Structure 1
Amino acid sequence: MFLAGCGTDQAQAPAPASASASVEPTAPITDGQPIDAMPAVERTAQVACPYLDMEWVADTNGQRVTGYGTDERFSTPSCVFYSFPEEPQLTVIVREMATVDDAIAVVDWAAPIDSTEPAEEPAGWSGGRRGGNEESGALYAVQKDTTAVVVFTNQDQSLKAQLVAEEVIANLGL
C-alpha cells in the first residue's frame, strides 16, 4: 500500500491574525496609587528630579536644598526637596489618572474648594491655591484632562508653589 500526501516536510507557520480583528484601545498609563497618595522620600535619597533643576528650586522657593529624592511609584516620579527643617521644603506630585474625574479628585484632595482660592494658570489648567497658615505651607494644585499637578511648599506664598507648577508643566510638555 502506498500513501501519498500533498504536503511538504516543512512545518507550517500559523496563519496570521485577521486584519479585520478589532484592536483594543490602550489603557492610559496610571500609577495605581490612591487619590491622596503622597511621595515617600528620605532626605538622604539624593536621586535628582528628572524635570526640575535643584538650583532653580532653591532660587524659586527661597531655601537652600540640603536633600532631595524621587518616588518612582508614580508614573511621573514625584520629587521632594529638603532644606534645614525636618519637613520637606517642596513636594511635587504629577498624576496621570484614568479619568478626568480622577484628576479632579486629586486636585480636590490637595486643594479643597472650601479652603482655597481658584487657580487658573497656566492657561487651560484649573484648580486651587492657598497660602501658608499655622498648620502647613502654601499649595498649588491644578488639572487638565487626566493630568493633575500638585505642589506643596513650606513657604507662606502660594506664588512660589504656582511658579514650580508652571515650570513642571512646561518642562514635561503637559
Structure 2
Amino acid sequence: MNEEVNFVVDSAKESMDGAISHLEKELVKIRAGKASPAMLSSVMVDYYGSQTPLSQVSNINTPDARTISVQPWEKSMLQVIETAIMNANLGFNPMNNGDFVIINVPPLTEERRLQLVKQAKAEAEDAKVSVRSARQEANKEIKNLDISEDLEKNAIIDIQELTDNYVTKIDNILELKEAEIMKV
C-alpha cells in the first residue's frame, strides 16, 4: 500500500521539477542588460522554405557584454537572418557587415526593466499554477487509493509540504531574476 503512495508523491515531485525547469528556461530568454545568445532563441529563419531556429543556421556569439554577433554558415543567409531578427520584435536593430550580422544590445530603460520584471513575475506565476495543479492531481490520486485514513492524511500533508517547498523555490528564482533585471 505504501508503495502506491510513494509513487504518487514521486510523480507529483517530478511534475513540480518540470515546472521549475520550464521556469528557468523561460527566464533565460528574458534579457537582463547584458547580451546573451539565448536572447535570439525565439528567432526563426526561413531556410529553404522551412522555418528553422536561428541557432541551426549560424553561430551566435557575444564578443562583449553589449554585442551579439551572428555568423551564418551560408553568406546568402545574411539578409534573411537580418530580416528575421527585425521581425522577431525583440527591440534589436541588426547591422550586416557582409560577413556577420551584428546586434548592439541597447541598455535597458527603467520602463523596459519594469516590463521585464512583470514578464518574469507572470512566468513565475505560471510555474506556481503548474505546481499547484500537480498537487491537486496527486491529492486526487491519493483519495482514490484504497488506504487507511491516517496514511491518506499523512500523504496529503507530505504533498502540501512538497508544494510549499517548490513555491518557495519559485519565489527565490524570481527574486534573483528580478534583482538581475533591475541592476543597472
TM-score (normalizing by structure 2): 0.22
Higher alpha-carbon Rg: 1
When the two structures are superposed, what TM-score results if normalisation uses the length of structure 1? Answer: 0.23
Relative contact order (C-alpha < 8 Å, sep 6+): which is higher? Answer: 2
Greater share of residues in strand:
1
